[in-house]
Amino acid sequence: MPKPPYSFSSATALAQALGSIDESTQGVVLPIHVATTYIRGADNSYPNGNVYSRADNPSYKPVEALLCQLENGADALLFGSGMAAATAVFQALQPGDHVLAPKVMYWALRNWLLGFASDWGLQIELVDMTDLGAVQLALQPGKTKLIWIETPGNPTWTITDIAAMAKLAHSIGARLAVDSTCATPLLTQPLSLGADVVMHSATKYLNGHSDVIAGALISARMDDYWQRVINVRKGGGAVPSPHDAHQLLRGMRTMHLRVREACHNAQFIAEQLQHHDDIIEVMYPGLPSFAGYAIAAKQMSGGFGGMLSIRVAGGEAAAIAVAAQTKLWKRATSLGGVESLIEHRASVEGPASPCPADMLRLSAGIEDANELLADLQQALAFARTHVRK
Ligand SMILES: *Cc1c(COP(=O)(O)O)cnc(C)c1O
- Give per-residue pLDDT as tens, 168-222: 999 999 999 999 999 999 999 999 999 999 999 999 999 999 999 999 999 999 9
Ligand 1 atom closest to Cα of residue 109: 10
Separation CA 123–CA 338 (nearest Å): 38
Based on the fold, state whether residues 22 and 130 are members of the same structural domain: yes
Specify if 374 maps to a domain.
Answer: yes
Based on the fold, state whether residues 247 and 329 are members of the same structural domain: no
Amino acid at 330: K
pTM score over 0.75: yes
Q: Return mean pLDDT, the chain.
A: 96
Q: What is the CATH number of the domain that holds 192?
A: 3.40.640.10
CA 83 / ligand 1 centre spacing (Å): 6
Based on the fold, state whether residues 114 and 248 are members of the same structural domain: yes
Specify if 3 maps to a domain.
Answer: no
Which of 218, 229, 172 is closest to 195 using CA atoms? Answer: 218
Residue 118 is predicted with a pLDDT of 98
> What are the beta bridge partners of residue 343?
361
Specify if 132 maps to a domain.
Answer: yes
Q: Domain count for the chain, please give it.
A: 2
Based on the fold, state whether residues 271 and 379 are members of the same structural domain: yes
Based on the fold, state whether residues 278 and 196 are members of the same structural domain: no
Residue 8 is predicted with a pLDDT of 82
* Cβ pair 1, 75 in contact under 8 A: yes
Based on the fold, state whether residues 18 and 161 are members of the same structural domain: yes
Q: Residue 249: which region, alpha, beta or left (left: phi > 0; alpha: psi -120 to 50)? A: alpha
Selecting among 38, 52, 54, 225, the annotated active-site residue is 54
Domain boundary among 231, 252, 273: 252
Residue 81 is predicted with a pLDDT of 98
184 CB contacts (<8 Å, ≥6 apart)? 200, 205, 206, 255, 259, 305
Structural domain harbouring 40? 10-252
Q: What is the sign, positive or negative, of the torsion defined by CA atoms of 290, 296, 300, 305?
A: negative
Domain boundary among 216, 234, 252: 252
Selecting among 110, 204, 258, 361, the annotated active-site residue is 204
Residue 278: active-site member: no
DSSP state of 386: I
Separation CA 318–CA 311 (nearest Å): 10
The SS3 of residue 320 is helix
pLDDT at 3 over 60: no
Residues with CB under 6 A from ligand 1: 81-83, 86, 106, 109, 150, 154, 179, 181-182, 201, 203-204, 213, 215, 335
* Cβ pair 361, 307 in contact under 8 A: yes
Selecting among 60, 106, 205, 284, the annotated active-site residue is 106
What is the pairing mode between strands 144-150 and 98-102? parallel
Residue 2 is predicted with a pLDDT of 44
Q: What is the mean pLDDT of residues 385-389?
A: 82
What is the pairing mode between strands 307-312 and 279-283? antiparallel
Based on the fold, state whether residues 36 and 180 are members of the same structural domain: yes
CA 28 / ligand 1 centre spacing (Å): 31
Based on the fold, state whether residues 271 and 238 are members of the same structural domain: no
Specify if 38 maps to a domain.
Answer: yes
The SS3 of residue 378 is helix
User: For the chain, how far is it from start to end, CA to CA, in angstroms?
Assistant: 61
Q: 389 falls in which pLDDT band (50, 70, 90)? A: low
H/E/C letters for each residue in 188-244? CCHHHHCCCEEEEECCCCCCCCCCCCCEEEEECCCCHHHHHHHHHHHHHCCCCCHHH
Q: 1 falls in which pLDDT band (50, 70, 90)? A: very low
Q: Residue 360: which region, alpha, beta or left (left: phi > 0; alpha: psi -120 to 50)? A: beta
Q: What is the mean pLDDT of residues 6-26?
A: 90
> What are the beta bridge partners of residue 344?
360
Q: Which long-range contacts (CB under 8 A, 24 or more apart) does 369-375 make?
A: 369/264, 369/265, 369/268, 369/269, 371/328, 372/265, 372/269, 372/328, 372/329, 372/340, 373/268, 373/269, 373/272, 373/273, 375/326, 375/327, 375/328, 375/329
Q: 353 falls in which pLDDT band (50, 70, 90)? A: confident
Domain boundary among 200, 233, 252: 252
Q: 7 falls in which pLDDT band (50, 70, 90)? A: confident
Q: Which long-range contacts (CB under 8 A, 24 or more apart) does 326-333 make?
A: 326/375, 326/376, 326/379, 327/375, 328/367, 328/371, 328/372, 328/375, 329/362, 329/372, 329/375, 329/376, 329/379
Separation CA 276–CA 280 (nearest Å): 8
* Cβ pair 99, 146 in contact under 8 A: yes
Q: What is the mean pLDDT of residues 232-240?
A: 97
